[in-house]
Amino acid sequence: MFTPGKKLNIQLFFFCLLLAVIIMILGESFIRRDVEHEDSLMRDSMLTTGAFLSQEIQRNISAGVYSTETLYNFLFFQDFNTDDFEKWAKVIVSEMYAATTVQLAPDGIISHIYPLKGNENALGLNLLEDSRGNEGALRAIESNELTFIGPVKLIQSGKLAVIVRKPVFMSEESGSIFWGFIIALMYLEEIIPERAISLHEQNLFFRILGDNPDNDEIPVIYESRGFYEEDCTTLKIEVPNGTWLLQMNHKPRKNPFYHLIRILLLIFSVILATYVYLQQDKIRKKAVEINNLNDRLLEISLKDELCGCWNRRGGLQIIEQQISQANRYGETHSIVMIDIDFFKEVNDKHGHQGGDKLLQHLTNLLTDLLREPDAVVRLGGDEFLLILPKIGLDDCIEVVKRIQHKVNTTALLLEKESLNLSLSMGIASYKKGENVEDLLHRADGKMYEVKENGRNGFKY
Dihedral of the alpha carbons of 388, 338, 408, 305, in degrees to the nearest 10: 90
Question: How much is the pLDDT for 357?
Answer: 93
Of the pLDDT bands very low, low, confident and very high (cuts 50, 70, 90), residue 194 is confident
The pLDDT of 382-395, averaged and rounded, is 95
Measuring CA to CA, how many Å separate 445 from each of 99, 215, 402, 427?
94, 93, 22, 9
Say whether pLDDT at 199 is over 70.
yes
Say whether pLDDT at 406 is over 90.
yes
Tell me which long-range contacts 72-79 makes (C-beta under 8 A, separation of at least 24): 72/166, 72/168, 72/182, 75/104, 75/168, 75/182
Of the pLDDT bands very low, low, confident and very high (cuts 50, 70, 90), residue 435 is very high
Domain count, the chain: 3
Measuring CA to CA, how many Å separate 453 from each of 97, 328, 460?
106, 38, 14
Q: Is residue 47 part of a domain?
A: no
Same domain for 323 and 450, yes or no, is yes
Sign of CA pseudo-dihedral 386, 392, 393, 395: negative
Q: Is residue 17 part of a domain?
A: no
453: domain CATH number is 3.30.70.270
Q: Is residue 122 part of a domain?
A: yes
Q: pLDDT tens digits, residue range 145-188?
A: 888 776 777 766 667 778 888 899 988 777 788 999 998 888 87
Q: pLDDT tens digits, residue range 313-356?
A: 999 999 999 999 898 888 899 999 999 999 999 888 889 899 99
Question: How much is the pLDDT for 96?
Answer: 63
Same domain for 435 and 361, yes or no, is yes
Say whether pLDDT at 230 is over 70.
yes
Same domain for 281 and 143, yes or no, is no
Q: Is residue 38 part of a domain?
A: no
Question: How much is the pLDDT for 404?
Answer: 96
DSSP strand pairing (101-106 vs 175-187): antiparallel
Question: How much is the pLDDT for 445?
Answer: 96
* Cis previous bond, 193, omega within 30: no
Amino acid at residue number 238 = E
Same domain for 392 and 451, yes or no, is yes
Say whether pLDDT at 234 is over 80.
yes
Tell me how far apart the alpha carbons of residues 71 and 244 are, in angstroms, rounded to a whole number.
25
Say whether pLDDT at 138 is over 90.
no
Q: Is residue 421 part of a domain?
A: yes
Same domain for 347 and 284, yes or no, is no
Q: Is residue 250 part of a domain?
A: no
Choose one of 246, 272, 298: the last residue of a domain: 298
Same domain for 383 and 317, yes or no, is yes
Say whether pLDDT at 51 is over 60.
yes
Choose one of 175, 190, 205: the last residue of a domain: 190
Same domain for 272 and 395, yes or no, is no
Tell me how far apart the alpha carbons of residues 127 and 122 are, in angstroms, rounded to a whole number.
10
Q: Which residues 6+ apart lie within 8 Å of 158 measured at CB?
A: none
Question: How much is the pLDDT for 11?
Answer: 67
Question: How much is the pLDDT for 2?
Answer: 54
Same domain for 328 and 398, yes or no, is yes
**Domain hosting residue 366, numbered range:** 310-459
Question: How much is the pLDDT for 167?
Answer: 92
Mean pLDDT value across the chain: 84
Tell me how far apart the alpha carbons of residues 382 and 424 are, in angstroms, rounded to a whole number.
11
Q: Is residue 215 part of a domain?
A: no
The pLDDT of 416-429, averaged and rounded, is 92
Same domain for 164 and 75, yes or no, is yes
Buried/exposed code over 60-84 (b: 16+ C-beta within 10 A; e: otherwise):
ebebbbbbbbbbeebbeeeeeeeee
Question: How much is the pLDDT for 6?
Answer: 56
Tell me how far apart the alpha carbons of residues 101 and 366 are, in angstroms, rounded to a whole number.
103
CB 189 within 8 A of CB 160: no
Same domain for 79 and 157, yes or no, is yes
Of the pLDDT bands very low, low, confident and very high (cuts 50, 70, 90), residue 255 is low
Q: Which residue did the predictor score with more confidence, 405 or 54? A: 405
The number of beta carbons lying within 10 Å of the beta carbon of residue 371 is: 11
129: domain CATH number is 3.30.450.20
Say whether pLDDT at 5 is over 70.
no
Which of 170-174, 302-306, 441-445 tops mean pLDDT? 441-445
Give a three-class secondary structure readout of the chain: CCCHHHHHHHHHHHHHHHHHHHHHHHHHHHHHHHHHHHHHHHHHHHHHHHHHHHHHHHHHHHHHHHHHHHHHHHHHHCCCCCCCHHHHHHHHHHHCCCCCEEEEEECCECCEEECCCCCHHHCCCECCCCCCCHHHHHHHHHHCCCEEEEEEECCCCCCEEEEEEEEEEEEECCEEEEEEEEEEEEEHHHHCCHHHHHHHHHCEEEEEECECCCCCCCCEEEECCCCCCCCCEEEEEEECCEEEEEEEEECCCCCCCHHHHHHHHHHHHHHHHHHHHHHHHHHHHHHHHHHHHHHHHHHHHHECCCCCCEEHHHHHHHHHHHHHHHHHHCCCCEEEEEEECCHHHHHHHHHHHHHHHHHHHHHHHHHHHCCCCCEEEEEECCEEEEEECCCCHHHHHHHHHHHHHHHHHCCEEECCEEECCCEEEEEEECCCCCCHHHHHHHHHHHHHHHHHCCCCEEEC
Q: What is the percent of the chain with per-residue pLDDT over 70, rounded to a whole number? A: 90
Same domain for 290 and 322, yes or no, is no
Same domain for 314 and 454, yes or no, is yes
Question: How much is the pLDDT for 317?
Answer: 93
Tell me how far apart the alpha carbons of residues 171 and 43 are, in angstroms, rounded to a whole number.
52
The pLDDT of 408-437, averaged and rounded, is 91
- Cα Rg of the chain, angstroms: 47
Q: Is residue 232 part of a domain?
A: no
Q: pLDDT tens digits, residue range 55-88?
A: 888 887 777 788 888 888 888 888 889 888 888 8
CB 362 within 8 A of CB 420: no
Q: Which residue did the predictor score with more confidence, 132 or 190? A: 190
Choose one of 169, 190, 211: the last residue of a domain: 190
